[in-house]
């Protein structure tokens, strides 16, 4: 999970899909033991730059104004850290009163990884970071450390540690590399998680295999006694 400030110096889902470059589950590693696809959800307050970030990442361009009233899923194939990955990036809409809770919840259920954005020129967007992280933690059952936050609510490094998120400072307008770095960092974390899950699955299947071998040996020796 990532969160970041922007604007200066950071399914089955019924959404429109825009395929801006090429084609894309965590579980689909094939035999190559690598993460081939990932679903990323971009979250954040109103006008904090979510669409700008998605468009910048995919097309490399910053166009300034974005006609964006509905959530949109972008698909692209990217080579990040020298490995190709098919990404589905869901750009959520957060107009004024915010999206209906069920829309946000289903977006979070759908996603593998999350970019929570805020704008350094909009304090309220920064304040919404913690509620978004709480929502992700409750839906994905990931650990948060909210009870430890005391007076440091407005300090970014504290919020980053408190949220257990990596923090990136991004300028979508002026620094494309910072956008790529933020997404790459998220994909690195997803790859790490994927490999952890793979190891757990392999361990489980080895245990099951050993149990099966032992059971068949025991059955055979009983048969011989009879």
Chain residues that interact with ligand GTP, rule: CB under 6 A: 6-7, 44, 46-52, 64-66, 68, 93-95, 171-173
Nearer to ligand GTP, 65 or 151 (CB): 65
Helices first, then strands: H and E counts in the chain: 5, 7
Helices 101-110 and 123-140 pack at an angle, to 10 degrees, of: 60
CB of 212 to ligand GTP, least distance (A): 52
CB of 130 to ligand GTP, least distance (A): 18
CB of 49 to ligand GTP, least distance (A): 3
CB of 83 to ligand GTP, least distance (A): 27
C-beta atoms surrounding 137 within 10 Å: 18
Nearer to ligand GTP, 43 or 85 (CB): 43
Nearer to ligand GTP, 130 or 171 (CB): 171
CB of 11 to ligand GTP, least distance (A): 19
Helices (H), the chain: 50-59, 101-110, 123-140, 156-163, 176-225
- Dihedral Cα 139, 145, 150, 153, nearest 10 deg: -60
List all residues 6 or more positions away from 181 whose beta carbon is below 8 Å from its beta carbon.
168
Nearer to ligand GTP, 52 or 76 (CB): 52
Nearer to ligand GTP, 41 or 48 (CB): 48
Q: Give the position of tokens 């965590």.
A: 26
């Amino acid at each position: 999970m990532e969160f970041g400030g922007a604007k200066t110096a950071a399914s089955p889902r019924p959404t429109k899909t825009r395929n801006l470059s090429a084609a894309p589950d965590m579980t689909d590693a094939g035999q190559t033991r690598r993460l081939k696809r990932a679903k990323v959800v971009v979250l954040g307050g109103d006008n904090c730059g979510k669409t700008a970030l998605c468009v910048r990442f995919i097309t490399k361009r910053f166009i300034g104004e974005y006609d964006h009233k509905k959530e949109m899923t972008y698909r692209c194939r990217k080579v990040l850290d020298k490995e190709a990955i098919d990404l589905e990036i869901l750009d959520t809409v957060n107009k004024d009163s915010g999206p209906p809770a069920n829309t946000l919840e289903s977006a979070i259920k759908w996603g593998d990884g999350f970019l929570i954005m805020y704008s350094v020129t909009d304090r309220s967007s920064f304040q919404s970071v913690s509620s978004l992280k709480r929502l992700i933690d409750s839906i994905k059952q990931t650990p948060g450390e909210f009870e430890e936050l005391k007076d440091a609510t407005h300090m970014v490094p504290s919020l980053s540690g408190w949220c257990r998120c990596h923090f990136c400072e991004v300028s979508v307008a002026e620094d494309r590399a910072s956008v790529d770095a933020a997404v790459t960092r998220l994909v690195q974390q997803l790859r790490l998680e994927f490999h952890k899950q793979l190891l757990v699955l392999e361990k489980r299947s080895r245990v099951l295999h050993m149990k099966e071998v032992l059971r068949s040996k025991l059955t055979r020796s009983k048969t011989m006694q009879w």
